[in-house]
Amino acid sequence: MQALYDTLKPRFLLGEFTKQRDDLAFITVEAVRLHALLRHLRDQEGFTHLVLLTAVDWLEDGQFQLTYLLNNRAKRQDVGLRVLIARDNATMESIHDLWAAAATYQRELREMFGIDFPDSPRLHEDFILEGWQDIPPYRRDFDTLKYAQENYRDRPGRETRDPAQHMKQQLYGED
């Protein structure tokens, strides 16, 4: 994986390289260079399978990290490409033209994080959260407790238990 990184670094101006295992590495790349790099990895390096596209909300830094995980089946290798984008008005170029399945991931990320992928098919149709009007729920500033208290009534008979004590009671009859 290091050799692949060393070969691609000058051409795509790659950032940080993190080797997780012999068959898994992560590379940081600028958003404007991602599409060309993905195309190269797919067409020239054998990373033909998009395994997943996910996001992390770095609220304190005002950024989202998008991670595109690709697989090269022949070499049994995975490479993750990390892209940092601004959290405010978060927008990223769509890759549905490279992998049709990416459109589904992009719809999920738009709905759950509020990240826009212009020109991605059906992006603005309800996907998981039909009729959702609040801020996207996977953003770290979404207050789950407040949302639950405002939208769901308390149910009588519910109690909170310490998991360790509860298991002791269930398994051994101890208090």
What is the 3-state composition of the chain as percent helix, strand, coil, each rounded to the nearest 5? 35, 25, 45
Query: What pLDDT does residue 138 have?
Result: 97
Q: Hey, what amino acid is at 36?
A: A
Q: Where is average pLDDT lowest: 100-104, 153-157, 162-166?
A: 153-157
Query: What pLDDT does residue 44 have?
Result: 97
**pTM for this structure?**
0.86
124 or 100: which leads in pLDDT: 100
| pLDDT tens per residue across span 3-13 | 999 999 999 99
Beta bridge partner(s), residue 72: 77
C-beta separation of 17 from 7 below 8 A = no
Can you tell me the distance from the alpha carbon of 92 to that of 36, in angstroms, rounded to the nearest whole number? 14
Can you tell me the distance from the alpha carbon of 75 to that of 79, in angstroms, rounded to the nearest whole number? 11
| pLDDT tens per residue across span 30-82 | 999 999 999 999 999 999 999 999 999 999 999 999 999 999 999 999 999 99
